[in-house]
Amino acid sequence: MTRQQRYFVQALARGLKVLQVFSAEHPRLTLSQISERTGYNVVAVQRYTDTLMELGFLKRNRHREFFLGPQVLSLGFAFLNRTQLKKIAEEYISEFSERVQRTLNMAILDGPEVIFIYRKEVHRFLSYDLHAGSKLPAHCTGSGKCLLAGLDDHSLKELLRTADLYRVTPYTIVDPEALWDDLMLTRERGYSIANREWISDLYSLGVPVINQEAKMEAAVNLSLSLEDAKGAHLKSMLEQFIELGRSLSAAMGYQGPYPVIPIADPSGDAS
């Protein structure tokens, strides 16, 4: 027996094989379909899927179909660097950040949190120890509120019912009904506002990045000081930021109206 064979963990290999059966052609699979594709019996597949869901690598919709969760992404940033979205972010967000001298982040939703998939920081302005892969609460951040507003009503209500909407600053919205109302306003506007909700001296805007299927791929947030978030200056920054979101979405193939918050398919179709 070789050293490689001696340290081979079969249970881990089988769990990874479950993840590998998902693809662009087959983003959602039932328990029996996973069993058929892996060759494992349904009881074993049930154990693997339960474990992978508990760890955030799989999610399941109301039709009992499984799909990959954002936790897969957190392990794959080396691959992510080669994706279309990352390349587009580097091009558009970097240019915008340098031009306006403000920090921007691109994020995706992971349950009650957001994961940064790209960050362009202006060190002289609102510098924090954050980077690609960092997680922040969704309920009080610009990108998070934008992404939450894009959930279907059932999923959003369930998340607000079960999530720990903890207070970060005196301005954090912690009441589920009040947050629901705020997110409905976000849908109406087409962009989000987090006013001192995560950091007391920070005003954050969030806009969606929409793909060619008119689904929200990610959200981008722009961080402003309270001094920036006033009058004509705020209006100008907002207009420029919305134009950035429009350009990012167009680069992803979206051709519809903007700004708009696309609502997720309640079937759980991942976007």
Instruction: Assign 21 to helix, strand or coil.
Output: coil
Across 73-87, 129-143, 237-251, which has the greatest mean pLDDT?
237-251
Do 155 and 121 belong to one domain?
yes
* pLDDT surpasses 90 at 100: yes
- Kindly state whether residue 202 falls inside one of the protein's structural domains: yes
Going by pLDDT thresholds of 50, 70 and 90, the confidence category of residue 99 is very high
Across 4-8, 20-24, 239-243, 253-257, which has the greatest mean pLDDT?
239-243
Q: Which residues contact 4 (CB under 8 A, 6 or more apart)?
A: none
Percent of the chain with pLDDT over 90: 70
- Kindly state whether residue 135 falls inside one of the protein's structural domains: yes
- Kindly state whether residue 256 falls inside one of the protein's structural domains: no
Do 23 and 138 belong to one domain?
no
- Kindly state whether residue 83 falls inside one of the protein's structural domains: yes
Going by pLDDT thresholds of 50, 70 and 90, the confidence category of residue 77 is low
What digits encode the pLDDT tens for the residues 32-75?
Answer: 999 999 999 999 999 999 999 999 899 999 899 999 987 787 66
Do 16 and 105 belong to one domain?
no
Do 22 and 81 belong to one domain?
no
What digits encode the pLDDT tens for the residues 102-153?
Answer: 999 999 999 999 999 899 988 655 556 677 778 999 999 999 999 999 999 9
CATH number of the domain to which 163 belongs? 3.30.450.40
* pLDDT surpasses 60 at 268: no
Mean pLDDT of 181-202: 97
Mean pLDDT of 62-90: 75
Predicted local distance difference test score (pLDDT) of residue 81:
47
Do 131 and 213 belong to one domain?
yes
- Kindly state whether residue 190 falls inside one of the protein's structural domains: yes
- Kindly state whether residue 168 falls inside one of the protein's structural domains: yes
CATH number of the domain to which 22 belongs? 1.10.10.10
Helix residue ranges per DSSP H, the chain: 3-6, 10-20, 31-38, 42-54, 71-74, 77-80, 84-100, 142-149, 153-162, 176-189, 231-251
Predicted local distance difference test score (pLDDT) of residue 11:
87
Mean pLDDT of 15-32: 90
Do 241 and 139 belong to one domain?
yes
Do 242 and 132 belong to one domain?
yes
Predicted local distance difference test score (pLDDT) of residue 136:
94
Do 144 and 240 belong to one domain?
yes
Do 89 and 162 belong to one domain?
yes
Residue-number span of the structural domain to which 81 is assigned: 73-251
Cα 215–Cα 80–Cα 147 angle in degrees, nearest 5: 35
What's the whole-number average pLDDT of the chain? 89
Predicted local distance difference test score (pLDDT) of residue 271:
42
Judge if pTM exceeds 0.75: no
Q: Which residues contact 230 (CB under 8 A, 6 or more apart)?
A: none
**Domains in the chain: how many in total?**
2
Do 18 and 144 belong to one domain?
no
Do 45 and 107 belong to one domain?
no
Do 206 and 236 belong to one domain?
yes
Instruction: Assign 64 to helix, strand or coil.
Output: coil
- Residue 107 CA to residue 128 CA, distance in Å, equals 16
- Kindly state whether residue 204 falls inside one of the protein's structural domains: yes
Among the three residues 68, 94, 110, which one is the final residue of a domain in this structure?
Answer: 68
